[in-house]
Amino acid sequence: MKSPTVLMLAIVITCVLPFATGAAGKGKKAADPDAPPAGVRWAIEPNELDFGEVPGGESKALGIKVFNQGDKEGSTRCGASGPGAKYVAVDKTGPLMIPAVGAIEVRVTLDAKSALIKKGAKVKKDKELKDIPVKATVTCGGKRADVKAVIKPRTEEEKQKDEPPPPPKADEIPGL
């Protein structure tokens, strides 16, 4: 009869060691949970969205196209992530059905409305009016589009100076 130590060593070698060394399953890889089903192949264009400078209190939208280059209809989701995702909105999150060899347009909006400082607020120019660099990622079907922008905070007074004056009302036009 073998000693308990020998039996325990035999169990470890045959049952535990293959999993610890990755030898279990005879070289088979686990399926990627984000991989599209057979016949579906995703692509995204462009793979970078540069919004440039966006003034506080405004928003700017750009589009991306999500392509299914496969020979079967597929479903996917889109969303924004990363440190600047709170400023980024995706108009179509899904599930999005895209036909074989088809595409859809997804609108991505950079929202800088929260960077508008209310009228009459005390402003510390070195803090509240500091540029906000935005970096985020929009992902659709496992494909990525990097988002970058610089939000330029400003006060409501500054925004009013930048806007054109409203047209005169009919009763304010001489000769009418």
CATH number at residue 100: 2.60.40.10
Q: What is the pTM of this model?
A: 0.69
Q: Which helix (H) or strand (E) holds 79?
A: strand 78-81
**56 and 151 Cβ atoms separated by less than 8 Å:** yes
* In a domain? residue 61: yes
State the amino acid at position 51 in one-letter form: F
* In a domain? residue 87: yes
What's the confidence (pLDDT) of residue 125? 63
What's the confidence (pLDDT) of residue 176? 57
C-alpha to C-alpha distances, 43 to 34, 36, 91, nearest whole angstrom: 14, 11, 18
Helices and strands per DSSP (H, E), number in the chain? 3, 12
Structural domain count of the chain = 1
Q: Is 17 left (phi over 0), alpha (psi -120 to 50) or beta?
A: alpha
The answer for residues whose C-beta is within 8 angstroms of residue 46's C-beta and 6 or more apart is 64, 145
* In a domain? residue 146: yes
* In a domain? residue 53: yes
* In a domain? residue 150: yes
| Residue of higher predicted confidence among 62 and 34 | 62
**143 and 43 Cβ atoms separated by less than 8 Å:** yes
What's the confidence (pLDDT) of residue 81? 97
**88 and 54 Cβ atoms separated by less than 8 Å:** no
* In a domain? residue 25: no
DSSP string, 25-54: GGGPPPPPTTSPPTT--EEEE-SEEEEEEE
* In a domain? residue 169: no
Residue range of the domain that includes 46: 42-160
Q: Which of 15-19, 32-36, 137-141, 144-148 has the lowest mean pLDDT?
A: 15-19
What's the confidence (pLDDT) of residue 175? 62
**Helix extents (H) in the chain:** 4-11, 17-20, 156-162
Pairing status of strand 78-81 against strand 59-68 = unpaired
Tens digits of residue pLDDT in 84-131: 999 999 999 889 999 999 999 999 999 999 888 877 777 666 566 789
Work out the mean pLDDT of the chain and round it to a whole number: 81
> What percent of the chain is predicted at pLDDT more than 90?
53
* In a domain? residue 11: no
Mean pLDDT for 50-71 is: 95
What's the confidence (pLDDT) of residue 122? 73
- Is residue 132 very low, low, confident or very high in pLDDT (cuts 50, 70, 90)? very high
| Residue of higher predicted confidence among 15 and 68 | 68
For residues 11 and 32, what is the distance between their CA atoms, to the nearest angstrom?
A: 30
- Is residue 157 very low, low, confident or very high in pLDDT (cuts 50, 70, 90)? confident
State the amino acid at position 124 in one-letter form: K
Using DSSP, state whether 87 is helix, strand or coil: helix
What's the confidence (pLDDT) of residue 18? 45
